[in-house]
Structure 1
Amino acid sequence: MKKLVLFALLLCNAAAAWADHTMADLFAGKAKVVFLGLDFTQAKYVGSVGFTDPTAIQNQHIVSWNNLIEMEPKKFSLQKAFNLSDGQYVSKVEDMVKFNKSVNVAENITETANSITEDQVKKSVAKYALSEKDGIGIVYVVENLSKTAEKMTAWVTFIDLSTKKVLYTEHVEGKAGGFGFRNYWAGAVYKINQEIDSKLYKKWSKTFKG
């Protein structure tokens, strides 16, 4: 009998750990947050003069832009922006690094800005193979790296990791800037993070706390 009770308790705990999460859980501090990185599978590179080495972008820079999130947490972490404790936040970009291997940069260099819909964001997320199964994931689904406008546009997307359901997504932009090609576009990621920290967190918390 005791074994049956113990087994039932274990099942209940497991079910609680794998329960669906909501945006309200995030702002109530009830969900772990995982920064998954940058999804470049729908990105366009606007202004061909600014993207002269597509092979390097595809094989080096896309990986590097993701890895910076883990390698330089003081600059690229979202922990402070979302007011999270150490136990509530982790960055794990390896799944996005793998997912981005399907990208063909040369075919996506253009002179015209790209436009991604919310439905396209959801279709991309549905294809993710995520190693993290609990909590809320945050991914930036990149729309444009525009040398013409000197900015990156992306959909900041929140995912329930247990179901891969998109909880919310919002179109955000960040001004590019920095020395060298890698840092120039990494600067845009930093600016998006800053936008979340300075403005969007407050707006979202009011919306989802009800």
Structure 2
Amino acid sequence: MKKLLLFVMVLLVGGNVSAQNSMADLFSGKAKLVFLGLDFTQAKYIGKIGFTDPSAIQNQHMVSWNNLIEMEPKKFSLQKPFSLKDDQYMSKVEDMVKLNKAANVADNITDDAYSITEDQVKKSVAKYSLSEKDGIGVVYVVESLSKTAEKLTAWVTFIDLSTKKVLYTEKVEGKAGGFGFRNYWAGGVYKINNEIDSKLYKKWSKQFKG
């Protein structure tokens, strides 16, 4: 019996150690990256004149903005910004699409300034039900879509998928732009990706390669 218990404990401890990922693992190529999409559950929509159809945002655009990540990888993939090989990267947005059904758009349209904290980001992540358990997930926890400032602000958040622990999060802004409502705000996501490609990857790789 003691031998059996010891064997189980070794399995549990060994499994936890091997399953955990760090940011250093991502930048050294030891962990794959999974782009989980956009979390709108804490977002506010600033500039009432720019958000006149909350039902369409909730039921149509949130789904579309997430699906673009998989449907238009040339524009929205994070594989190139993170310098990853094909077997080191994937996108899977279905969990965020489900999560966003609980978002409330109508009550979050405002003309007031708004921001969220790192703790609020972590509380949001704690509620996730994720189908991917291997590697590191990256999710954009959207803080605001501001029509007045013409920008989308999100917390780029890295998660150890085996534990749901937030490894790192940073607020990043992307200038909105494009023809039509969907493409205008998708432009903000595209610009955040560009910011990672042009500046943040280099900064993060220095920060986490130790």
TM-score by length of 1: 0.92
- 1:158-182 CA-partner distances (Å, limit 9, x unpaired): 0000000000000000000000000
For residue 36 of structure 2, what is the amino acid of its counterpart?
Answer: L
User: Percent of pairs identical after alignment?
Assistant: 82
Q: Secondary structure at the match of 1:154?
A: strand
In structure 1, the partner of 2:125 is 125
Query: Which ranges of structure 1 fall in alignment gaps of 5 or more residues?
Result: 1-6
In structure 2, the partner of 1:107 is 107
In structure 2, the partner of 1:77 is 77
Instruction: Tell me how far apart the structure 1 counterparts of residues 17 and 95 of structure 2 sit (CA, whole Å).
Output: 21
Report deviation, 1:104: 1.3
Q: Structure 1 residues 80 and 115, CA, compared in 2 at 3 Å: closer, same or farther? A: same
1:21-60 matches, cutoff 5 A: 21-60=21-60
Instruction: Tell me how far apart the structure 1 counterparts of residues 23 and 112 of structure 2 sit (CA, whole Å).
Output: 34
In structure 2, the partner of 1:159 is 159
Superposed CA RMSD: 1.7
Instruction: Tell me how far apart the structure 2 counterparts of residues 113 and 55 of structure 1 sit (CA, whole Å).
Output: 22
Query: Which ranges of structure 2 fall in alignment gaps of 5 or more residues?
Result: 1-6
In structure 2, the partner of 1:97 is 97
In structure 2, the partner of 1:150 is 150
In structure 1, the partner of 2:3 is none
Instruction: Tell me how far apart the structure 2 counterparts of residues 153 and 192 of structure 1 sit (CA, whole Å).
Output: 9
TM-score by length of 2: 0.92
List, as ranges, runs of 4+ consecutive aligned residues in structure 1 with deviation greater than 2 Å: 14-18
For residue 123 of structure 2, what is the amino acid of its counterpart?
Answer: K
Report deviation, 1:113: 2.2
Report deviation, 1:19: 1.3
Count of residues in Structure 1 that have an aligned counterpart in Structure 2: 201
